[in-house]
Structure formats: C-alpha cells, structure tokens
Structure 1
C-alpha cells in the first residue's frame, strides 16, 4: 500500500511539470501495464479482481493527489532556482527508463517497428513546436464560477487526463498549449485555502481528468492487446522524443552548471535502477 502511494506521489509530481510525463513515470515505476489493466477492467461486468483494482487505483490516485497538491509550490521553487538541474534529473529518469521499458515490453514478446516509433517522436516534437513558451502565473485571476466554466473545465480535464496516461506525453504541456496550465497550477497550489471559487472549478476539472484517463486506458489497452508491437513502438517514440525535448539548449552553461547537471542526470539514472531492483 505504502509503495503504491509513494509511486502515485511520483506520478503526481511528474504531471505538474510541462514536458515531463506521468505515463513515463508509470513505466519507470513498473506499474504502466497494471494501471492500464485495472482501469480497462474496472467497468467490465465479469471482473473477479474489481475490489483489488479499485484499491490499487485508489492508492495510486491518493498518492498522485498528494504529489500534485503537496509539491506544486516545491517544484515551482526548484524550477525557479535550479531549473536546469531539475530538468536534467527528469531527463535521467526518462532516459534510463528506456532500457527498462524495452526489457519489460519487447524482449520475448515482439520487436520495435520503425514507423510507429517515428510517429510517436513526431507527436512530441509537434507538441513542443506549438508550445506557447514561458509565461507567468504570478498574476492569475480566478474566473467567476459559471456553468460554462464548469463544462469547459470538464472538457479540458478530459484532454489533459487522456494525455497524462501516455508515456512521453506531458499532460501539463498539453494544458499549456490549451492556455490553461497556469490557472490549473494556481488552483492546485491554493486548494488548501478551501475557497469555493477554487474548489468547485478544480472538482469539475478532476471529473474531466478521470473521464480522460478511463477513455485513454480503454483505447491504449485495446491497441496493446490487438497490435502490441506497433503500440509499444509508438510509446517508445514518445519516450525517446520526450527525453530530447527536455534538454535545456538555451541555458548558459559553465563548469559548475555542467557538473551539477551531470550529477542530477546520474541521480535520475540511479533512481531508475534502484526502483527496478526493488521491483525485482
């Protein structure tokens, strides 16, 4: 139970940062297929493991909520003060997860196909191309709560939730492209104020996120079952490209920054190897 909650916290933290994928974090933690199966089977009439699936998803969602809410401000500080090192830490996590992913999904089951891999990479590069870039959430103004706002947030949450589940695809980056990321992060960072103009919109966005996750899991589960090699290759392309696009090319590198960035990258790799060893 504790292990699942901690994994959920890591997934929640990953989903806060534009460019970092919660789905990739699931791959790193070795729970991607378990999550797909649990969500996909949850609504089936004949599912003897429904209670176990519910408990597993509940623990994971609890951890994700803790990660999203509890670390929104912490990560804001890290990205503000140590942006390059923080990004290289995540690059290390993602890069070292690729062999883990291939070992789990390809070895003895199939082979990687070139075209689906390239398509997956192209989607990530397209997301980065349409990324509106940096902006400030310091002066976010909460909109008035209305029916239209609630419907809009359900739709936005569904899109973000669907993208959060795919390895390599950053749900936060998708929200950034939609122009709703900074409002979403402001809601999360201030949820403990318990103001209705924050809780109500966040609740409707949460409903949308759950719907998006369920739909995404159903679709992904179907393709994994009926076209395993192409789907795995597509996901591999997403992961590879997400590693490349996170590299801070515009940073002012000096010897100190290079050294600390390398240490952060290596730390990410050590974490992946440690998690793989614990997972057995």
Structure 2
C-alpha cells in the first residue's frame, strides 16, 4: 500500500510539473524543487549515460533499470505528459480568461515554498546569505533583460535548446522565457506548427546535450555544497517573483506568423495603478484569496509532513 501511495504522489508531482511547464515564466524545476524531488531528479537525469548502457550489456535489463532509477523517471514523465496533454488547454484558458488570479496563485506558491525551504534549510553562514541574494539578483536580472533577436539557424537553435533545457531544470527560471529573451520563441513555435524537422532536431539535440552536461554539474555541486546550492535556488525563486507578478503593463510585444501576440517586456504595477494604466479590473480581493490559498496550502503541507514525521518517531 505504501508503495502505491508513493507512486501516486510521484505521479501527482509529475502532473504539477507538467502544468507549470505550460505557463510561461513558471518552471517545472520549481515544482520539483518545492515538492522535494529535485535532487533525485537531477541524479536520475545524470545516470542516463554510457555506464547505464554498459550495465544493460553486462548485467541485464533489471540492473540497468535500477541504475537509471527507471520507476522514478517513468512515473514522473507519465504525470508530466498526462498534464501537458490534458491540462494544457485548461491552463491556457486560465491564462487568457483569468490571468491575475492564476499569477496570484503562483506568487503565493513561490512565497510559501521559499518560507518552507528556508525553514528546512536556514541561512546560517555568510556564504549562504550572500548566495541567496546572488540568486535573487540573477533571476531578477534575467526578468528585466531586454530581448534580443537571433536568426533561427540550426546552430542558434542548438544553443538555444541547450540553454532553455538547462533553465527548465533550474527553480525559478523558465525555459520558454529564455527563448523569449533570445528572440527565438516565435521561431520555435513556428517550427512546431510547420513541422520544421531540421530546426526541431537541432533544438532537441541541443537540449539533450545541455541537460546531460548541466545535470552532472548540478549533481556534483549538490553532493559537495548542498546548503549553498539550496540557498542560491531559494534566491532564484524569490527573484522569479518579478516574472510572475500578476499586475503588469505590457511595454513591447510582437505578433508571430501564426497570429499569436508574444509579450516581450512588461513593467510591474501595484494593484492601485493597474486600473488607471491598463483599464482592467485588478481583481484585488480574488487575487488576495488565491495568494493566501496557495500560501496556506504550502504551509499546510509543511505541517502535515512534520506531523507525519513525529508520528513515526
């Protein structure tokens, strides 16, 4: 029964990661981090290597399956893909019809997660405090960086795939947002719509290479400097609040070949400024409710986890 429950919880975490990846500015890596599977995810990605093939050849399928943590990755991917295919339209509907409450929910989720993580991993040393603020600075700097426009060649898409996939496994940094900053998001969306195999292949290969290399670096850092890495990632999460802040004024945008309007840059507003500058209802009460609900949900999970731990001791 416990194994079934563990598998179900892992599947639900995959669902949450998939739902987050649908939302521009939110990273599946963020969900992995706040749900406590981040380190296992990084180590699992790292384990898919030549040694896994050697294990398959010398010891058989069972040994290779255990070596790459097959149960974990299959259940997690099942949740992610289920979410991508089943929740994508619903999330897109919320983004279009109810963006302010949705972003408020994610803001509460991030704030609650940072509080939870810092309770579990207090910033005790000067280095940890310094890296926490460095993480905030990096994520905030990325959020206000002006987009550039690169030509969508195979080489640039390979590099973009490497960078975007690395960003996707970092908490607080969205792969799709990185593509926007590189000016390649319309190229990527157009390649999917028009089935441009050369562009998609270059992007996929770049993503695989970037993911394999970066997961090894992260695994090495986590094994040796776990508290420092977690402090930095908590900073990333705090800095990402600038990206997902609900009340924004669009300062520049472009229309893709498919007719989709792509926002390139925004300014954050206070709810009191939102009505005057955009003409839209700031929905302050509903946004506050969604923020408090998400924050309370994370705090509730923290309380539940502590109660469960105490009951087993």
State the TM bucket, normalised to the shorter chain: 0.7 to 0.9
Partner of 1:100: 116
Structure 2, unaligned stretches of length 5 or more?
1-6, 56-61, 248-267, 309-313
- Evaluate the alpha carbon distance shift between residue 9 and residue 131 of structure 1 in structure 2; reply closer, same or farther with a 3 A threshold: farther
Once residues 202 and 74 of structure 1 are traced to their aligned partners in structure 2, the CA distance between those partners, rounded to angstroms, is 26
- Evaluate the alpha carbon distance shift between residue 65 and residue 180 of structure 1 in structure 2; reply closer, same or farther with a 3 A threshold: farther
Partner of 1:20: 26
Give the SS at the match of 1:168. coil
Write out per-residue CA displacement over residues 210-256 of structure 1, whole angstroms, 9 at most, x where no aligned residue.
33222222111111222233222211211111124422233526997
- TM-score, structure 1 normalization: 0.77
Q: Is 1:74 matched up with 2:80?
A: no
Give the SS at the match of 1:179. coil
- Evaluate the alpha carbon distance shift between residue 131 and residue 5 of structure 1 in structure 2; reply closer, same or farther with a 3 A threshold: farther
Q: Give the deviation of 1:73 after TM superposition.
A: 3.3
Write out per-residue CA displacement over residues 183-225 of structure 1, whole angstroms, 9 at most, x where no aligned residue.
545677x6xxxx7x16775465344333322222211111122
Q: Is the 8 A contact 2:39 2:222 kept in 1?
A: no
Partner of 2:167: 163
Once residues 74 and 184 of structure 1 are traced to their aligned partners in structure 2, the CA distance between those partners, rounded to angstroms, is 22
Structure index of larger Rg: 2
- Evaluate the alpha carbon distance shift between residue 71 and residue 2 of structure 1 in structure 2; reply closer, same or farther with a 3 A threshold: same
Partner of 1:127: 142
Once residues 3 and 200 of structure 1 are traced to their aligned partners in structure 2, the CA distance between those partners, rounded to angstroms, is 38
Partner of 1:138: none
Partner of 1:269: 295
Once residues 208 and 198 of structure 2 are traced to their aligned partners in structure 1, the CA distance between those partners, rounded to angstroms, is 16
Q: Is the 8 A contact 1:119 1:237 kept in 2?
A: yes
Partner of 1:173: 177
Structure 1 residue corresponding to 2:237, chosen from 216, 236, 239? 239
Once residues 196 and 74 of structure 2 are traced to their aligned partners in structure 1, the CA distance between those partners, rounded to angstroms, is 23
Structural RMSD (CA): 3.4
- TM-score, structure 2 normalization: 0.69
- What are the within-5 Å matches in structure 2 for residues 1-280 of structure 1? 1-43=7-49, 45=51, 50-52=64-66, 53-104=69-120, 106=121, 111=125, 113-132=128-147, 149-184=153-188, 197=195, 201-202=199-200, 204-247=202-245, 248=247, 249-250=268-269, 252=274, 257-273=283-299, 275-276=301-302, 277=304
- Evaluate the alpha carbon distance shift between residue 37 and residue 49 of structure 1 in structure 2; reply closer, same or farther with a 3 A threshold: farther
Once residues 49 and 64 of structure 1 are traced to their aligned partners in structure 2, the CA distance between those partners, rounded to angstroms, is 25
Structure 1, unaligned stretches of length 5 or more?
134-142
- Evaluate the alpha carbon distance shift between residue 56 and residue 198 of structure 1 in structure 2; reply closer, same or farther with a 3 A threshold: farther
Give the SS at the match of 1:227. helix
The more displaced of 155-164 and 221-230 is 221-230
Once residues 159 and 81 of structure 2 are traced to their aligned partners in structure 1, the CA distance between those partners, rounded to angstroms, is 20
Write out per-residue CA displacement over residues 108-159 of structure 1, whole angstroms, 9 at most, x where no aligned residue.
x9657222112111111111111549xxxxxxxxx9xxxx855543332221
Question: Aligned pairs, how many?
Answer: 259
Q: Which has the higher contact order (CA 8 A, sep 6+)?
A: 1
Q: Is the 8 A contact 1:131 1:176 kept in 2?
A: no
Q: Give the deviation of 1:64 after TM superposition.
A: 2.3
